[in-house]
Structure 1
Amino acid sequence: MEKKQANRPIILIFIAVVFILCLFFLLPQSEKGEKNRSNEEQLANLLSEIDSVGQVQVYFHYDQQREQQFLAVTQQEKLSGVIIVAQGANRADVKIMLKETVGHVLQIPAHRIQVVPMQIKEENK
């Protein structure tokens, strides 16, 4: 009976450590996802205000780099590419302007930016 009671603090400590590790690994990822989505939405809203561009959707692609240290894993995300879907992207001048603008704002080369026309969806009446 005494042996079971002696193991109880060890089990509680183990459960607490597992819980803290889960929080450490899960919460930062969800916060990063929300931040990235917010940045995508902000850029899309800004680009849609440019003349002849129309509605815009933006997607950021990140390369993840993992560094493992004793009892810690750090993840860094590096922006490696952008996809822009825009109504006005079927015009060459709009496509070039979007690539140049996003390249300057995000400090990435033009070959990492893909601009494609948005599909026109007809509403069912």
Structure 2
Amino acid sequence: MVSACVQDNTEHSMTKGKKIIIPMTLLEAPKMKIFSVRFYKNNNVQTEILTPNLDRELKRKLKLPKKQHKLDSIRTEDYDDLRIIVYSMVKKTGLKKKPDVLEIGLGGSYEDKLAFVKENLSKELSIYDFFEKGEL
């Protein structure tokens, strides 16, 4: 938590036009990478495909399977939804060593989701890829 010195512009405030100190919370959003893609049929996981080149930090957090499927071998007609599993690149922030892993649902049609996954499978995802500066 930090403090900021700002000018109060609130209507009908006793301190309007004066500088006041307010508490603020800073959020760190490290870059993320796609770990895997889960394909669903009737809300059940049918197939999970791992990203080909995974970082070695993941061995601390997860057990990696030996057998891996390819994204090109997936028939899109067999599934009705997909979600991505991402992991944070916390080594770049210096806060901790083990990455956080979470599942994220994507918006749009199934074809749009699949196109997003194919385009960003080995890229680092930043918060600025999804939000404009000052939007949050």
Higher strand share: 2
Q: Structure 2 length normalisation: TM-score? A: 0.21
Greater relative contact order (Cα 8 A, min sep 6): structure 1 or 2? 2
Structure showing greater Rg: 1
